Structures are given as C-alpha cells and as structure tokens.
Structure 1
Amino acid sequence: MSSAQKLDGSNLQAALDKLHADVASHNMAPYWVVDRSVKNDEDTRIRDTRQAIPFSWTYKQDIEPLLYRSAELITTESSERRSLVLVNPGLAPKRAVVSTLYVAYRLNDPNEIMPPHRHSPNAIRLGLSGHQNFTGVEGENITFGPGDLVLTPHDTWHNHGNRGSENAINLSVLDLPLVETLCAMYFEHDYTEEEEGKRVRRVMQSERFPENYSQTIYGSGGLKPRFVSHNRGTGFASPMYVYRWDMMREALERAKNWDGDAHEALMIEYVDPTNGQSIFRTMTFFMQMLRPGEKTLPLKQNASLTVSPFEGSGYSIVGGKRIDWAPFDTMAVPGGEWCEHVNTSDKDPAILFVASDEPTLKALALYQKHGKTKTGEIVRLA
C-alpha cells in the first residue's frame, strides 16, 4: 500500500497542501494531476496562463483621437517616438497584439524627421493617411502614402518622419514579442558615418540609392536584374524595401473574377522578389479581398494573425465572438481560434491587411491549418 493510500481524506489534503507549499518555496512547480476540478490540475497549470484573446481596437473612435491628443503633448524634442502600442488584454502588461506580433500606430506632424536607429526586431510600416510619410532605410529614402508597405528589416539603420505639410499616420507591425521571448532584443541609436577617416555621428543617413530604387530594380515581377547586389542589410529579408499600393490594388482587381479560396477569399502575399519567399523569416503579410457580399468559411490555424481593414467594412467571427470592423481598425486573431470574415456591402469590396507569424511555425515544422466545409465537416488544409 502506498503512503497516499494510508492517509485518510483530510490528512491527505493537508499533506498535499504542505507538499505544494514546499515545492513553491523552492521555486519549483509540480506536474501531477490530483483533481481536474480544482487548482491542482497541473495539466492546465503547466500552460502559460496569459493567452491572447480575440479582440479589436477601433481607429475612428479610439486610436485616432488619442494620436492627435498625443501630438499636442509629445514633441520631437521630448521623444524620438510618438506611437500608440496595442495591448491584448489577455497578454497585458506585455506589449503584444498576439503572442508573437506587436502593432503600433504612429502620427508624424508636418516636416518632422527623427534620427536614425536600428534594432533586432523586423518591422513594416503601412501608410494610412498623408502622402509624404518618410522612412530612410540603409541609404534609400522612401516617401510613401496610403497602402504603401515599407520594410525596416532586422539590424538595418532607418529613420521615420513626414516630409509633407499635413499630418501623416502609419501602422507598424513588428516581431518584437517573438524576439523578446528569444532574448535577442536590442535597440541602437548611435548612428555614425565615416568622414575623412573618422566615425562621425549623424542625425540623417547619407543617401546611397536613388529614391525609387526598390521600384526600379524590383517593381517588375519575374524579372531579376543581375547588375546589382541583392544582399542588402543583413541579407535575411527582402531587398525590396517598399511595396506600392497601386500595384497591389491592381493585382487584386485583376483577380476579382477568380473563384478564390473558400476559407481565405482572395489573398495576395508580399514576397521577396528574388526567391518568392516571405519578406521576413519570422512573419509574412497579405492583402485579403472580400468581394461584395462575400463570406469566408471558418478557418483555424496555429499561426497568429493581426487583421487591419484597409478598405470597406464588415465583421468577423473569431473564437465565436463577433467583431465589427471598419477601415484602419486592428483585430487580434490568436492561433488556434476559428475565424471567418463577412463583407457586409453588396456593392464594394472589403480589403484587409493581414500579418502572420506563419513563417516561424513553418520553419519549426509546427504549422497546421484546418477549415470547415459548408456542411460543418473539419478538414486539414496544411
């Protein structure tokens, strides 16, 4: 007979409580199931109790007013950054929308340029308003407007700002939570250039490429120039640093009469033009078009997504929760949740900007995707 069998109910519970207290006092945790209905169900407790939940942030009602209030109070003299970071309630206080992705909205006043910096997370900027958003990346000065996607890959010197006379707002997505989890986080702000044999600190990068370099070299799909080096930055991201909205919108328009995918409608991925792979090794990005009245079938994948409507309005069902959306909102779709989208307009398309950590899961051979058929049957898609 075991020791536990020799103890009656009250004595056994007292002994267990003492054991658990002693284990905790030594910075350890038990892993045994005593009773699934109480706190000692260690199958549940061994998992991280902080999990991203389906959630949304509204642009017009909440984000935009707070951005303009911040612009009145936070100047470039007091801070090099003026951004609002979205925090998923299930992950708070961690600054993350889903477990691996960080989203922020940034407002730049007219004619302000911040000094260069670089960091270990990969990042993109998507223009929302203003036609003179500015990002300088590794000597390529990029001016961009609504719908243009700009890359600032890992370890590339870059700076942000606004060259225009009107306010400019853009959306940022970074793999910062993933990089932080891997203990690979760093930020650097001491940008220097060599002048007459000495390193001199600069507040602006010298321009080393023509302003339309990315479009000139990479703007024709399927054609790869051999007369330039494609090893830009660290060489671990797409060398095309800006993807123009007019090209993406034209591609979506050309595809509008295709059947599309029942679970994803029409999705076009931003890819590295030299190899067809995702623009970063950790995350990838799409524009997803729902045609008038279109509704997708439920889809579940273990990749985590952020979804930011760019055109149109509608709603999504994420984890059984209805989330209504409009342009420039952001929605968290945690990995493992069923999701479906509905375009409520019978006249106009809805276009969603989607970020995903799918490349990370694929690199680790963990990626899975399931869908439901019209009859409710669950099928494995990937």
Structure 2
Amino acid sequence: MSDTLLRNRDVELKALYDDVAANHMFPFWATSADVAHDEIKQLMASPKAVPYVWRCAEDIEPILNRAVELITMDDSERRSLVLVNPGLAPRRATVSTMYTAYRLNDANEIMPPHKHSPSAVRFGLKGQGNFTGVDGENMVFGPGDLVLTPNDTWHNHGTVGNERALNLSVLDLPLVETLNAIHFDHDYKEEIDGKIVPLKQQTERFTPDYSQKTYGYGGLMPRFAGTKSRGAGYSSPMFLYRWDMVRELLNKHRENPGDEHDGLMVEYIDPTTGQPVFKTMTFFAQMLHPGGKTLPVRTTSSLLVSPFEGQGYSIVNGKRMDWKEYDTLAIPGGSWFEHHNTSDKEPLVLFVASDEPTLKKLDLYKKWGKSASGQVSQLV
C-alpha cells in the first residue's frame, strides 16, 4: 500500500472512529496493541476498585465528631461517611458491589423510618446505645453486634442513652444501582383506628429480644414462630446477631488450628435455611491465633475487612497494608491477600463482608490458594 493510500486510510479511520464515539458506540474489531482504538486496552482500562485502607481513629472519627456539631437532624436524617474507593471515584462504592459507611449518632437521636431496595447491616463499634428498629422490633446493640436492615423492610436508626454511638454499615447499593433497581421510601404510615396515618416511628410489634429469643439457638427450629415472613421476606428472619455468642463460639475452638487459608471463620446465616443472611452479601467473623497468619488466597468475590479485635496487617497483591481496630480494608475481587496477627499473646478477629452469594448464583465464584511452598491450587 502506498504512502498516499496509507495517509488517506489514517484520515478515514480517524473519521470512522470519531463517528463511532459521537454516536456512543464502541469499535469491537481493533486488535492490534499499537493502535489508538485497541478494544482490549480500552476494555481493561475501565474503572476498577483498588486495595485501600480507611483509618477510623485518625480520619473517620474526627470528621464525624465535627459533623455532629455542624450537621443536626434538622439538616439531614443521616450522618454517615461513605468510603469511596479511589479506583471507582466518584461512584459511591468501596468495592464494585458494596460500600461501607460509618455512622455517628449523638445522644438520644432517633431518625424516622425508611426503606430501600439495597440490603444493609449495622455492626456496632463504640457505645452501648446504638439503636435500629426493623419491622417493629426495636434493637439496642453494642460493639460487635450485627443488625440486619433487609431489602424493602421499614427500619430506623439512632441512639438511646446519654452517649454518642458509632457503627459501621455495609450495603449492596453499588450492585443494586448497577442493576438499575434502586428505590427509597420515606413515607411511613400505619393503620390506626381504621385510618392510614403517617408516623415518625414504627409501632413496636415484637419484644426487643425477639430475634435472639426465637432464632438464636443453633440446631433448633422454632416451628411456633410460624411461616409468615418477617419484613419483606427477602432475608434471614433473625435481625440481630449478638457478639457474645460469636465470641463464645470462637473461644470454644481456640485450640483448633483452623484452616491454613482462612483461620477460624464463622459465617452469619439464616437459621431457618442455613443460607447467607442476604441473597447478595454474606458476613463472617474471622479469627487468627496469636502470632498466626493465613496463607495467600484469591477469590473472584470482593471483600470489605474491618479489624475488630487485635492488631496486625494484610498483604494484598504483594503490598503490605497496616491497619488498626475499626479501620476498613477493601480487597477487590481477583486480588491475592493474606492476613497477619502481630500479637503473640492475643487473637486477631476480623469482621468481613463479601459479595460471594452473588457470584455463586451467577456461577462466577472461584477461590485459589497458595501452599507454604508457593504452589497454587483451586480451592473452590
């Protein structure tokens, strides 16, 4: 081909690609790495989550404490900080499918009810007066307690008692947003004396300890609880998981060496089915013995890891990432990672959120591990 024809072809190609872009389309034919419109290069260049650590004590808490003084409940019904992954900004996502938010409520603040299509949990960090009401069950929770606020179920948040309280939330909002299925509803009403009236707080229909009293006994199914779904029926009917029960289970196995890739992991499940508490996310408490570490592991699922007890660090894709209690570590799907407990006296306990159920339903979940010699094998 002559130089003239090549120059003309270059001009025509540029015009062609300009027209493709102007019409919001993508050319899926360029395969050479030395051309501007190589589709592999462009597809791989899409925004991706990166490993990252957010610092609770150094960064998150000081900002929230300032916000308590400046942002009142008259300004907003929420006082939360959403963790935005640097690789996904400005999208509200800590990893591609989930986000973590930290919420600080001042003493004796109760927000009105709302519901939404994303599923969420609250995990207590500080203070004994964290409050969440779900479907008529009012729950006061402390550090380590886990509360579900399921998809399309009325709930409200706040604090009781005379102190501030800090909790951590995990939502599948980025996933639901990607699926174009987001909805929120703040217009809470109940029928009273035959009339539908708006209310600022749900009428209490269950005792505060109903979840634990009814469903909190492993291996025992309370048939007297009936078959009527709680909330919208899309989650575990047990809305509150107490930390003392999780810690007791872990303590009973303190002599168990655990799995070489996972340590000792306890999954929060729906006690009526044995399945994860939500269809999109699952949650774990993960313990490493004093001086312990996990061998490297890689999964297609994305993880949000919050150290709750102890001290240590993680290595993600070969990079050491130090953290402290109540921090959050984002581990994007496909990353190699391992956790290390730097204390030779105390165990390390991590609270972990994963989108594993979503990946499993799509037959996309896989897991690999490295042996002590570095050999890779597929675990799942």
TM-score range, shorter chain: over 0.9
* 4+ residue segments displaced more than 4 Å: 4-9
Matched, 1:30 2:27: yes
Matched, 1:187 2:184: yes
Aligned counterpart, 2:76 = 79
Aligned counterpart, 1:56 = 53
The whole-number CA distance in structure 1 between the counterparts of 2:322 and 2:35 is 37
Matching residue within 172, 176, 187 for 2:169: 172
The whole-number CA distance in structure 2 between the counterparts of 1:365 and 1:48 is 25
Matched, 1:208 2:205: yes
1:148-196 superposed Cα distances (whole Å, 9 cap, x missing partner): 0000000110000100111100000000000101111011101001011
Matched, 1:112 2:101: no
Contact 2:31 2:40 in 1 (8 A): no
Q: Following superposition of structure 1 onto structure 2, how do residues 317-328 of structure 1 map, counting pairs within 5 Å?
A: 317-328=315-326
Matching residue within 333, 336, 339 for 2:334: 336
Shift of 1:227: 0.9
TM-score if structure 1 supplies the norm length? Answer: 0.96
Shift of 1:13: 2.8
Q: Following superposition of structure 1 onto structure 2, how do residues 1-382 of structure 1 map, counting pairs within 5 Å?
A: 8-47=5-44, 49-230=46-227, 231-382=229-380
Shift of 1:39: 3.2
The whole-number CA distance in structure 2 between the counterparts of 1:315 and 1:168 is 26
The whole-number CA distance in structure 2 between the counterparts of 1:137 and 1:217 is 15
The whole-number CA distance in structure 2 between the counterparts of 1:295 and 1:347 is 14
1:101-153 superposed Cα distances (whole Å, 9 cap, x missing partner): 01100001001100000000000000000101110000000000000000000
The whole-number CA distance in structure 1 between the counterparts of 2:35 and 2:308 is 45
Q: State the one-letter code of the partner of 2:350.
A: L
Select between 27-36 and 72-81 the one with higher mean Cα deviation: 27-36
1:191-247 superposed Cα distances (whole Å, 9 cap, x missing partner): 001011111000111000011101110111111111112521122200000000000
Aligned-pair identity (%):
60
TM-score if structure 2 supplies the norm length? Answer: 0.97
Superposition RMSD on alpha carbons, in Å?
1.4
Shift of 1:38: 4.6
Select between 10-19 and 109-118 the one with higher mean Cα deviation: 10-19
Shift of 1:32: 2.0
Q: State the one-letter code of the partner of 1:293.
A: G
The whole-number CA distance in structure 2 between the counterparts of 1:41 and 1:29 is 10
Shift of 1:43: 1.3
SS in 2 for 1:257: coil
Shift of 1:374: 1.1
Select between 200-209 and 221-230 the one with higher mean Cα deviation: 221-230
The whole-number CA distance in structure 1 between the counterparts of 2:82 and 2:155 is 20
Are the structure 2 counterparts of residues 323 and 5 from structure 1 closer, same or farther at C-alpha, using a change threshold of 3 Å? farther
Shift of 1:256: 1.7
The whole-number CA distance in structure 2 between the counterparts of 1:364 and 1:48 is 24
Are the structure 2 counterparts of residues 320 and 12 from structure 1 closer, same or farther at C-alpha, using a change threshold of 3 Å? farther
1:76-104 superposed Cα distances (whole Å, 9 cap, x missing partner): 11110000110001000001100000110
Shift of 1:47: 4.4
The whole-number CA distance in structure 2 between the counterparts of 1:12 and 1:254 is 73
Q: State the one-letter code of the partner of 1:308.
A: S
Are the structure 2 counterparts of residues 5 and 104 from structure 1 closer, same or farther at C-alpha, using a change threshold of 3 Å? farther
The whole-number CA distance in structure 2 between the counterparts of 1:179 and 1:354 is 20
The whole-number CA distance in structure 2 between the counterparts of 1:229 and 1:11 is 76
Uncovered stretches (5+) of structure 1, i.e. residues with no partner: none
Are the structure 2 counterparts of residues 5 and 106 from structure 1 closer, same or farther at C-alpha, using a change threshold of 3 Å? farther
Uncovered stretches (5+) of structure 2, i.e. residues with no partner: none
The whole-number CA distance in structure 2 between the counterparts of 1:100 and 1:5 is 51
The whole-number CA distance in structure 1 between the counterparts of 2:238 and 2:155 is 15
The whole-number CA distance in structure 1 between the counterparts of 2:5 and 2:14 is 14
The whole-number CA distance in structure 2 between the counterparts of 1:78 and 1:338 is 43
How many aligned positions are there?
Answer: 379
Are the structure 2 counterparts of residues 5 and 289 from structure 1 closer, same or farther at C-alpha, using a change threshold of 3 Å? farther
Contact 1:303 1:361 in 2 (8 A): yes
